Structure 1
Amino acid sequence: MSDAETAPPGAPDAGDDGTDLLAVRRGKLDRLRAEGIEPFPHDFDGVEAIAAVRERHAGLEAGAETDVRHRIAGRLHARRGQGKMAFLDLDDRGGRLQLQAKLDVLGPERMSRLLEAVDLGDVLGVDGVAFVSRRGELSLRIEDFTVLAKALRPPPDKHHGLQDTELRQRRRELDLLGNEETREAFITRSRIVSEIRRYLDGEGFLEVETPVLQPLYGGALARPFVTHHNALDRDFYLRIATELYLKRLIVGGLERVYEIGKNFRNEGISHKHNPEFTMLEWYEAYADVEDAANRLEACVQHVARAIGVDDPEDPDAIRWTEPWKRQTLAGAIEEATGIDVLAHRDAASLAQVIRDSDATDLDPDGRTWPQLVDDLLSKHVEPFLQQPTMLFDYPVELSPFAKAKRTADGVDTGLVERFEAFACGMEIANAFSELNDPDEQRRRFEEQARLELEGDDEAQPYDEAFVEALEQGMPPTGGLGLGIDRLVICMTGRRTIREVVLFPAMRD
């Protein structure tokens, strides 16, 4: 097997000697069909996972023989040897197993077919007997094999994988074939989501589904995608959040609900933003923001323990299972910049302080007060919060759905019961003591409408249906949104959202 049989995807499908690999592989396809073999059969029943085969024979000594037969299937990764005996490596999702092909077992015809008509990247089904080689490698002695899918294009180079970052993201199937780290990252992502569900289901939450196409977007400060439904002759929005529908379920008496699903925001693309992304939102009746904070910490710690991401020996590891740091939003901004945003509660005053500050080079012109506060947070606080941290006590201007902060004397501080959680230098979660006073919610919608007139195109639109739902009576509720993609970035040690989304949005 020459190195010419693998090639970097995206390059011409030619070997080092100029051979057209696609033509060569098609010739082998023709040979299989000429021999009466269908290279794309319908099925291959009774397949065992390679991991299960390895587990079955764990502990066998070098040179051990068995009489145990297995049927496995996967993609041919490597092949060594010719003539009377050859060794092959077969990959499935869970691992790799060495295969031994012997002339005296397969016979001349099948041996020739395996060595000459089968290529790296072909999908094979194999029946064989387990044994351990003299070097201690668990192997399967091939008694029969079936071509399940003939690969007409070469796989990524087996030694170097697929290196081009943009090609990896555009052609994720090649990235998964060529890079074991990529496969492991997405397997870990699946486990993270499964463990989140396991935790919430165990705490009595119901998983629900709410509309993706919404007549009025809401639940976050973001620009939506707009689409048109022909039969109804009306515009709909791809949801930017699941919040308002989930809270209507709380009104309906479901008490503890969650949804894991896609949201869509028509905003910029960055290392932590993709126009479609996966969010977890949960809402819990008779709870508040402190309950949400404690539950978030417990949920993420459960996940971290289940998938084993905490490394006590690594000084740079994220300490998910240790108590999370907690402080106020205003305190964190003042600590970083020296600016007390609560002492300057209008745009003009805060803008002037920002201009006079040596700690920031922000341009405050044309920004609303909540936008200025968010600028200070996103530029001077968020990037430096590497370990899990919760920031509490947000100004009401940034939080149209949260209840006012409770104080001993009942004085209105202009703050609400909200926190955001951060890790790896980015926000990963957002939570409220949910506003359930319909009159106050209506007033805040009206304030959001005023901000929209002032130029804030991410202001929350007025939703009368939601206000009417609150007028039915919503119990005290703690709600939280957790960004699945960002949590996966942190827990897999990746750098950007494109590395944890299977098929990210890309430019032409």
Structure 2
Amino acid sequence: MTNEQMNRRQEKRNKLQEQQVEIYPESYKINHELSELASLDDGTQNIKVAGRILTMRKFSKLIFVHLADVNGRFQVLLTEQELGETSLNQFRTTIDIGDFIGVHGSMYTTNSGEKTLRATDYQFLGKALRPLPEKWHGLTDIETRYRQRYLDLLMTEVTKEQMLLRIQLIRQIRYFLEAKNFLEVETPILQNTSSGAIAKPFHTHHNALDIELNLRIAPETYLKRLIVGGFTKIFEFAKSFRNEGISPQHLQEFTMVEGYAAYWNYQDSMVLMRELILHVLENVFHTATIKIGQSAVNFAEDWAIVSFRQLLLKDTGIDIDQFPQAKELYEEIVKKGIHLKHEDIHSLGRGNLIDLLYKKISRPHIVKPTFLIQHPIDLSPLARSNDQDPALTDRFQLIVNGAEIINGYSELVDPIEQRERLLQQAQLRAHGDTESMEMDEDYLLAMEYGLPPISGWGFSIERLLMVLTDSDTIKETVLFPLVRK
């Protein structure tokens, strides 16, 4: 873009003002959406639509333009015969690609077979002072695409389709859960502690109260407080924040869907999550088979179920049950010639060390939907311990194409055991494991008033969409990914 192009547009704006045309009018009453026009019969009259001009072809006595919005685009014909010489000439000399217009007209089909709105008059609705990128080149610069997502939405069809899929995905998840009698609730983003997950929080300061707060890393402990308060089936679309490293599968700000059902166990939640995924595939993607890499994965087939111990034993030759301490487990990992990358690996507790090993060695090779179960208890400080083996938890994760897309478990509802586990987490934190969970006295207070058996689950909208659309990076699943200033 050159200053000359902007200057020409500014001159056209001035010319419209001289002609007493309202540059940015208050409104324009439409009676059809652009996406509806293709279904109207030829001869349909009194149609009023509006949109941004994306293409323009000028001829001596007529002009073809395409109007567009996020849901569609449609061809409009403006002719000297219908508009008059003065009006068409004003259009020709003052209106650019990128400008907004409203059009009143009737439907017909051109000789080439394209449905078209034939304008009887038009109204100017807004001047774009900067030219759009050239349509046939699109936006290929990643930095520009993320910083100026509005241009990416206009010029890149794949981006627009991805974002519309996200909207449909959220709509269908909400529909599915409400049909199962789950109630949607909201919980605080600003929290005194960073409970509910093992992650580093973002910190902020509340000026009026003069207290330090965290942005929530998960809504879990507040949702469980609602179970104490009498709710039995709840869910939340929760904006969550984790001050962690950047990777193709991680966002620092993301939308988590988390839910809880009283009187359920983790196996009930596994059934629900499978039904949810199949519902989304049917109603958003209209197929149960998704292309992932070079494979076609049929989600309607049975999903594998494998234990954490079995998986690591198969992939690394390490039986984690034989190494109850972090130090001896790390020594065995080194002995096996496995190099784990972490800024301070010796500060990690056993649970986070196991998790790091699994994420490096095993998870990247799981392609088809797989339920991973029986996680070590020190990796799951809020999950219920297994009745047969208290060193394990009644937990599951759904892994697809090397990504964890759902996490769930039978919840720990014993306040005494919960206090002991949070004390262990606090000790790990005191010794440098910054990803360990904080003590949360307010949550323990709520638990002491009594909780029924509960199962909960959670997943990131962005991670799920990334996997189902086989995207290279999770940034392709959000409208405005965070970029450096």
Structure 1 counterpart of 2:165: 188
Q: What does 1:298-447 correspond to in 2, within 5 Å?
A: 298-308=275-285, 310=287, 312=289, 316-358=295-337, 360-362=338-340, 365-407=346-388, 412-447=389-424
Q: Secondary structure at the match of 2:295?
A: coil
> Which residue of structure 1 lines up, in the alignment, with residue 462 of structure 2?
485
Where do 1:220-299 residues align within 5 Å? 220-299=197-276
Deviation at 1:313, TM superposition (A): 9.0
Residue 504 of structure 1 corresponds to which residue in structure 2? 481
Distance 1:27 1:51 in 2: 33
Q: For 1:216-245, what per-residue CA distance to the aligned partner results, in whole angstroms no more than 9, with x for missing partners?
A: 220011111111111111111111110000
Q: TM-score, normalised by structure 1?
A: 0.91
In structure 2, list runs of 5 or more residues that go unmatched.
none
Q: CA deviation at 1:159?
A: 0.6
Deviation digits for residues 185-217 of structure 1, max 9, x if unmatched?
001001000000000000001100100111222
CA distances 1:145-197 after superposition (whole Å, capped 9, x unpaired): 11111011001111111110111001111111111111110010010000000
Cα RMSD between the aligned structures?
A: 1.6
Q: 1:465-496 CA distances to partner (integer Å, 9 max, x unpaired)?
A: 11121111111000001111101112223211
In the TM superposition, what whole-angstrom CA distance separates every residue of 1:299-325 from its partner, at most 9, and x where no partner exists?
111011101253659572343333322
Preserved contact between residue 310 and residue 321 of structure 1 (Cα < 8 Å): no
- Name 1:152's counterpart in structure 2: 129
Judge conservation of contact 2:67–2:74 (CA < 8 Å) in 1. yes
- In 2, are the aligned partners of 1:13 and 1:153 still within 8 Å (CA)? no
Distance in 2 between residues matched to 1:46 and 1:435, nearest whole Å = 55
Would the aligned equivalents of 2:289 and 2:297 in 1 still touch at CA under 8 Å?
Answer: no
Alignment equivalent of 1:450, drawn from 418, 427, 434? 427
- Equivalent-residue separation in structure 1 for 2:271 and 2:377 (angstroms): 22
Q: Within 5 Å, which residues of 2 pair with 1:138-149?
A: 138-149=115-126
Q: Percent identity?
A: 38
**1:36 equivalent among 14, 17, 20:** 20
Would you say how many aligned residue pairs link Structure 1 and Structure 2?
Answer: 480
Partner of 2:240: helix, strand, or coil?
strand
Change in CA separation of 1:232 and 1:163 when aligned onto 2, cut-off 3 Å: same
1:102-113 map, 5 Å:
102-113=79-90
Alpha-carbon separation, structure 1, partners of 2:206 and 2:289: 53
Q: Secondary structure at the match of 1:248?
A: helix
Letter in 1 for 2:81: D
TM-score (norm 2): 0.96
Q: Which residue of the partner structure matches residue 78 of structure 1?
A: 55
Q: Secondary structure at the match of 1:83?
A: coil
Cα distance between partner residues in 2 of 1:300 and 1:98:
38
* 1:348 Cα deviation from its structure 2 partner: 2.3
Question: CA offsets, 1:112-161, max 9 Å, x none?
Answer: 12222110011111111001112211100011111111011001111111
In 1: Cα distance, 2:322 partner to 2:84 partner? 86
Residue 68 of structure 1 pairs with residue 52 of structure 2 = no
Amino acid at match of 1:336: D
Match of 1:158, SS state, is: coil
Cα shift readout 1:329-374 (whole Å, capped 9, x = no counterpart): 111112211211122121122112111214x333664543112211
8 Å contact kept, 1:310–1:318: no
Which runs of no fewer than 5 residues in structure 1 stay unpaired?
1-11, 15-19, 58-64
Q: Is 2:5 the counterpart of 1:27?
A: no
Q: Which runs of 4+ in 1 moved over 3 A?
A: 309-315, 363-367
| Distance change (3 Å), C-alpha of 1:108 and 1:486 | same
- Is residue 165 from structure 1 mapped to residue 149 from structure 2 by the alignment? no
Report the Cα distance in structure 2 between the residues aligned to 1:313 and 1:196, rounded to whole angstroms: 18
1:56 and 2:54 matched: no
Look up the equivalent residue of 2:326 and give its one-letter code: A
- CA distance 1:259–1:46, change in 2 (3 Å): same
